[in-house]
Structure 1
Amino acid sequence: MRELQIVNAVELASAYVAAEYVVVLDGDALPLRVGQPASDLEAYWPASRYAFITAWNPASQPRSDAANQAADALLVAELDAVGAVRHPAWAQDPTGHWREPGWLLAGIEETDLLRLATEFGQAAVLAWQPGEAVRLRMLMPRPPVVAAVEHTDWVAG
């Protein structure tokens, strides 16, 4: 298990909330945003729960494309092992200067999702159930003195 060492968890969470997320289904790019329902996606691809995960840039530290692709291949093998149904997806900053490939998952158990995210050194995942707003799940303890970051859950410590 990798230990995350984030200097400012609130700034990181705020950046993840502001990011744009996109999933590709049958050639259509469907946007996802933290704090908003994903009605189009849910109508197009019904599931009991949804999640976004990536293996790229563990602990939010840039890695080479080769290292990221190797980590992604390992994540795909793990997703296959738990029977997770997936579609290609990505996250990017609002300016489009940073883009990180990942996977939109359907029906994965939360324990498997959090285990895989931790195993692959991720600071956060997205997770929600149909009809709910997309939520950011930060995989670190909530900082002791912090204003709430909307639609964000702190699920460690």
Structure 2
Amino acid sequence: MRELQVVNAAELALAYAAAEYAVALDGDALPLRVGRPAGDLEAYWPAARYLFVSAWNPASEPHSESANRAADERLIARLEAAGIPRHAAWAQDAAGEWREPGWLLADLDDFAANALARDFGQAGVLAWSRGEPVRLRMLIARPADAERSDYTDWVGA
């Protein structure tokens, strides 16, 4: 497991919460937003729990395209070995200046989800249960200056 050192965790959480997320399912791009239900996705791909995770840019530090692709290949191999269902997904900022591929996974418990994200150096993921709003889960300690949010959970190290 990696020890993450994030320069400004409060700003990072705000950026993650404001990002636009989507999942590719049979040619459609179904949107995901922190704080909103994902009813269309859940109707299309029923599961008890969902997790959006990426292997790109660990600790929110930019990495080369080749390093990110290699990390993604390791993540895919791990998911396939464990038999974890997945669909291609991505995150992007509203201005379109940043886009990062990832995966939407189904039915991982919180322990497995957190361990997977931490193993790939991620500071945050989206995680929620069917019928509930999408939540941002920050895998780093909540800084004192972080704004309170009804849909952001800080689970620390």
TM-score w.r.t. structure 1 length?
A: 0.96
Deviations along 1:54-103, whole A, 9 cap, x unmatched? 00000000011110000001011111222210000000001111000000
Separation in 2, partners of 1:130, 1:146: 27
CA contact (8 A) 2:90 2:102 kept: yes
Q: CA deviation at 1:6?
A: 1.2
Q: CA deviation at 1:144?
A: 2.9
Which residue does the alignment assign to 1:30?
30
Separation in 2, partners of 1:146, 1:73: 33
- Percent identical across equivalent pairs? 64
Which residue does the alignment assign to 2:100?
100
RMSD, matched Cα: 1.1
State how 1:1-157 maps to structure 2 within 5 Å.
1-157=1-157
Amino acid aligned to 1:129: S
Separation in 1, partners of 2:25, 2:19: 20
Count of residues in correspondence between the two structures: 157
CA contact (8 A) 2:51 2:126 kept: yes
Residues 1:145 and 1:18: Cα distance change in structure 2 (over 3 Å) = closer
Amino acid aligned to 1:137: R
CA contact (8 A) 2:10 2:145 kept: no
Q: Which runs of 5+ in 1 are unaligned?
A: none
TM-score w.r.t. structure 2 length?
A: 0.96
Stretches (4+) displaced over 6 A: none
Separation in 2, partners of 1:146, 1:76: 33
